[in-house]
Amino acid sequence: MLDQYKDRYRTLGLNIAYYRKKSGMTQEELAEKAGIERSRISKTEIAWVGTSLDMVYKIADALEIEPYKLFVERD
């Protein structure tokens, strides 16, 4: 992950955590529903790692939201 995009990855991670909690899911439940490892969810939420669009789409589908919502800063 490039440092110049760190803020964008932080926004992505915060939004994943927000929508996950809003839907009442744990990281484990989201990971299972999205078909990815829980540790990957955790690392993505804290912007520890970058992620692919495929991963973003899987997470958005599991959260039942449009993918763009994961990239937009919320008020």
Phi and psi angles of residue 4, each rounded to the nearest 5 degrees, phi first: -65, -20
Helix axes 27-34, 38-45, angle to 10 degrees: 120
Whole-structure pTM value: 0.94
**Average confidence score pLDDT of the chain:** 95
Q: What are 31-56's pLDDT values in tens digits?
A: 999 999 999 999 999 999 999 999 99
CATH code, 9-70: 1.10.260.40
pLDDT score, position 74: 83
Mean pLDDT in residue range 12-18: 98
pLDDT score, position 3: 85
Exposed (0-12), middle (13-18) or buried (19+): which is 75, by Cβ within 10 Å?
exposed
CB contact at 8 A, 16 and 56? no
DSSP character for 46?
T
Residue ranges of domains in the chain:
9-70
